[in-house]
Amino acid sequence: MKTKHGKAPCNGIFGMNQRMNGVLLAGWVLMVSGGAAWGVDPNFVFSKDYLLPLATPTSMVAADLDGDEFPEIVVGETGSSSSSIRVISNLTSLTGDVRPYPVGLGVVDVKAVDFDGDEFLDLVTANLTSNSVSVLRNEGNGIFSPAVNYAAGPLPTSVTAGDINGDDLVDLIVSHQTVDYITILYNQGDGTFGGAANFASGGAGDSVVAFELGGDADSYSELATVNRQAAA
């Protein structure tokens, strides 16, 4: 699904450099400039570090969260007794604006998707330890409401979004570490989720993606999973 504020243009900046790419390393988000992908010097130059307080950064996504057509970075991180996502604002100076939002314990994946149709990207995390997903709704300015947690089955490893039942609403799809199925949580039409259902997969899953096959006449999303162990 495309949204008005879903773009992440290449000239978005998280500091003073004109071309940026994010790298996650050992508890820090390292912002680096340049790269062969843009036809420039492939040697990266570190330009800004953001220290993350919790023990283990686990995932990251870049998306325009406040509608200014420049992408922010969202980092999932987890500690022994708490987890959060941290939104790093896209700034014109190196001021390091980092906003934390608590989520379910053991966050392992974070995605940015418009769940309520207001053309602003919301956030969702898959939480391994708490067996849940956390949904944070964008208030329209890149500030997020407190997370709403939904039971998502045992040991979620990843979460994605797609229209599973053809109602033009974005549903959630969750893969699992130890069971041979995926879990779908259906969008209720207002950005909340319910009616969870399980569907057999090829095995315990490390990752799941939703997409539409070329030439497919329907509006339903297809799914693909990466499975660490084949189903028995």
Query: How confident is the model at residue 221, as a pLDDT?
Result: 72
pLDDT digits (tens, 9 = 90+) for 119-142: 999 999 999 999 999 999 999 988
User: What is the percentage of the chain residues whose pLDDT exceeds 90?
Assistant: 35
DSSP-derived 3-state class of residue 38: helix
Query: How confident is the model at residue 207, as a pLDDT?
Result: 76
- Per-residue pLDDT band for 218 (boundaries 50, 70, 90) equals low
pLDDT digits (tens, 9 = 90+) for 134-163: 999 999 988 999 999 999 999 999 999 988
Angle at 168 between CA 189 and CA 74, to 5 degrees: 75
Query: How confident is the model at residue 203, as a pLDDT?
Result: 67
Calpha distance 51→141 (Å, rounded):
24
Across 112-117, average pLDDT: 94
Query: How confident is the model at residue 53, as a pLDDT?
Result: 67
Tell whether the model's pLDDT for residue 18 goes beyond 50. Answer: no
Calpha distance 210→172 (Å, rounded):
10
Instruction: For residue 190, count other CB atoms closer than 10 A to its CB.
Output: 11
Tell whether the model's pLDDT for residue 7 goes beyond 60. Answer: no
DSSP-derived 3-state class of residue 210: strand
**E-assigned strands of the chain?**
20-25, 28-33, 45-51, 56-63, 72-78, 83-88, 98-103, 107-113, 122-127, 132-136, 148-151, 156-162, 171-176, 181-187, 193-200, 203-211, 222-230
Structure tokens at 167: 């109602």
Angle at 159 between CA 158 and CA 160, to 5 degrees: 130
Give the 3-state DSSP-derived string for 79-95, with helices as H, strands as E and coil as C.
Answer: CCCCEEEEEECCCCCCC
Highest mean pLDDT among 147-156, 172-181, 204-213: 147-156
pLDDT digits (tens, 9 = 90+) for 60-113: 999 999 888 888 889 898 887 888 988 887 754 444 577 899 999 999 999 999
Tell whether the model's pLDDT for residue 17 goes beyond 60. Answer: no
Please report, as a single letter, which amino acid is at residue 64. D
Query: How confident is the model at residue 211, as a pLDDT?
Result: 66
Across all residues in the chain, what is the average pLDDT? Answer: 75
